[in-house]
């Protein structure tokens, strides 16, 4: 198969982890006889430096013409005070590609139980939660948004808004996801306070009638955040809006060992998919070969699975990651006290070596 991939390494640790993930992809492509064609484009702070804008038009055009897109991370202190920040590029490409569904699988590899902050008895059966985050609506995109002087006071505002179509399509995707798993779906909102959440809940209930086999529950987001650390295995699939999903998935990441472990797939209806680790550009460790590349490597596996339907190839990557962990190899973020951690490039090389064996 021919795989036309656009790479958007971005800023901070983005280029480091992208390099490791691409090495893994190249190894798998060669092993299975796929023809890989990767082109690199600018997004985020590096795009601002080179072109004055975080999402140049040729990046959008290249992504639209690709089979799939892989992104490292964007942002960093250098660009934090600009009016148009690097993050605008990421939001822009999600919108331009219609990537309304963000799948964030929080899975604790049993080998990493020691890196999990939860009590051993809570995680003895592992953790396997799929967070389905709405990605192109909600408070991230709602209008009006801005800053102005009101009654002599500087005032900032955003709008949390969803229409029924936006809720219905993410709810359907979440129910479909639950059908392929343990058939339990928890919708997370703030319906005790927010009108937008009341509509969300109504529409999710309507969609539920199409999926009688799925057990649907609802939680308020504050309780959900608490339940996720109290007893993560009560969840199978979580569906929620853009902002709540952003926050809950970072929480879900740390209970699986580290934010450096959690991959993601951003999907549209039938168009090109974008794959990225859920973490950011980690300016505190950038350029030091400390970043864990496994979230990125696992994002490549998701790309093979969701964009190309190459399940065996995806599985081979996930198995190789597991074997590397089983052999005791750890980057700093997942290392136990006293371990001498590996660099990110060494970790990537170990996965490549596993695949080559
Ligand atoms: P972050 O995820 O970049 O970092 C949070 C903490 O996790 C840091 O201590 C970092 O060192 C650590 N960390 C993150 N990834 C790691 C990895 N692979 N291995 C080991 N440790 C890792 O979040 P932040 O510090 O809040 O944000 C930094 C910048 O990244 C900001 O500009 C933010 O807007 C941006 N950001 C971008 C994305 C994205 O591109 N998808 C996501 C989140 C944040
Ligand atoms: C993420 C990030 C982004 C988000 C930012 C950088 C725009 O935190 O991908 O989780 O909030 O969606
Ligand atoms: Mn985030």
19 is catalytic: no
CB 218 within 8 A of CB 187: yes
286 labeled binding residue: yes
72 labeled binding residue: no
Q: Are strands 146-150 and 153-157 parallel, antiparallel or unpaired?
A: antiparallel
Strands (E), 135-259: 146-150, 153-157, 184-189, 215-220, 237-240
Our measurement of the distance from residue 51's CA atom to the centroid of its chain's CA atoms, rounded to an integer in Å, reads 27
157 is catalytic: no
Query: Ligand 1 center to residue 265 CA distance, Å?
Result: 17
11 is catalytic: no
121 is catalytic: no
211 is catalytic: no
pLDDT level of residue 124 (50, 70, 90 thresholds): confident
Closest CA to ligand 1's atom 13: 282
Ligand in closest contact with the CA of 347: 1
Element (H, E) at 20: helix 14-32
* Average pLDDT rounded to a whole number, residues 82-103: 98
Contacts for 11 with CB less than 8 Å, ≥ 6 apart? 44, 45, 46, 72, 73, 74, 75, 76, 79, 86, 281, 286
Residue 139 pLDDT greater than 90, yes or no: yes
Which of 17-21, 44-48, 252-256 bottoms out in mean pLDDT, i.e. has the lowest?
252-256
Mutate to test the pocket of ligand 2, among 246, 248, 260, 295 (most ligand atoms within 8 A of CB): 246
pLDDT of residue 117: 87
pTM to 2 decimal places: 0.97
Closest CA to ligand 2's atom 9: 278
CB 173 within 8 A of CB 207: no
CA distances from 317 to 56, 252, 269, 333, 352 (A): 32, 22, 26, 21, 9
Ligand in closest contact with the CA of 281: 1
Which residue is catalytic, options 49, 67, 128, 250? 250
Of ligand 2's atoms, which has the minimum distance to the CA of residue 135? 12
91 lines ligand 2 (CB under 6 A): yes
283 labeled binding residue: yes
Query: Ligand 1 center to residue 276 CA distance, Å?
Result: 12
CA 258 – CA 63 distance, rounded (Å): 29
231 labeled binding residue: no
Structure confidence by residue, pLDDT tens digits, 24-83? 999 999 999 999 999 999 999 999 999 999 999 999 999 999 999 999 999 999 999 999
269 labeled binding residue: no
pLDDT of residue 337: 82
90 lines ligand 2 (CB under 6 A): yes
Which residue is catalytic, options 58, 61, 125, 222? 222
* Domains of the chain with CATH codes: 1-107+261-357 (3.40.718.10), 117-255 (3.40.718.10)
ipTM value, please give it.
Answer: 0.99
Query: Ligand 3 center to residue 14 CA distance, Å?
Result: 14
Structure confidence by residue, pLDDT tens digits, 265-322? 999 999 999 999 999 999 999 999 999 999 999 999 999 999 999 999 999 999 999 9
Tell which residue, 30, 2, 91, 72, has the closest CA to residue 279. 72
* Average pLDDT rounded to a whole number, residues 232-252: 97
Torsion sign over Cα 189, 132, 237, 235: negative
Q: What percent of the chain has pLDDT over 70?
A: 100
> Mean pLDDT for the chain?
97
Q: What percent of the chain has pLDDT over 90?
A: 94
């Amino acid at each position: 198969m021919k795989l036309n991939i656009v790479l958007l390494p971005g800023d901070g640790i983005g280029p480091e982890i992208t390099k490791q993930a691409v090495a893994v992809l190249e190894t798998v492509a060669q092993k299975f006889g796929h023809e890989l064609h990767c082109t690199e484009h600018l997004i985020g702070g590096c795009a601002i430096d080179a072109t004055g804008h975080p999402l140049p038009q040729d990046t959008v055009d290249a992504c639209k013409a690709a089979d799939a897109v892989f992104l490292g991370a964007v942002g960093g202190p250098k660009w934090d005070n600009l009016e148009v920040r690097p993050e605008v590029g990421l939001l822009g490409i999600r919108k331009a590609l219609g990537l309304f569904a963000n799948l964030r699988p929080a899975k604790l590899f049993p080998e990493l139980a020691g890196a999990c902050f939860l009590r051993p008895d809570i995680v003895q059966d592992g953790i396997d939660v799929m967070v389905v985050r709405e990605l192109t609506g909600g408070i991230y995109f709602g209008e009006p948004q801005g800053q102005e002087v009101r009654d002599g006071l500087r005032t900032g505002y955003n709008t949390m808004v969803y229409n029924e179509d936006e809720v219905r399509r993410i709810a359907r995707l979440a129910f479909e996801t639950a059908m392929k798993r343990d058939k339990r779906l928890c919708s997370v909102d703030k319906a005790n306070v927010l009108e937008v959440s009341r509509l969300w809940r109504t529409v999710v209930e309507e969609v539920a009638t199409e999926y009688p086999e799925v057990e649907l529950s609802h939680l308020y987001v504050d309780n959900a955040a608490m339940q996720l650390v109290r007893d993560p295995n009560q969840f199978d699939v979580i569906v929620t809006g853009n902002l709540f999903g952003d926050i809950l998935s970072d929480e879900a990441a740390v209970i699986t060992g580290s934010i450096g472990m959690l991959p993601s797939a951003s999907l549209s209806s039938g168009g090109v998919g974008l794959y990225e680790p859920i973490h950011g550009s980690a300016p505190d460790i950038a350029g030091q070969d400390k970043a864990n590349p496994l979230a990125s490597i696992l994002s490549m596996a998701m790309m093979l699975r969701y964009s190309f339907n190459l399940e065996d190839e995806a599985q081979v990557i996930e198995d190789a990651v597991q074997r590397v962990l089983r052999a005791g190899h750890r980057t700093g973020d997942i290392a136990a006290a006293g371990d001498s951690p590996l660099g990110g490039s060494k970790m990537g090389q170990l996965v490549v070596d596993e695949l080559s064996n």
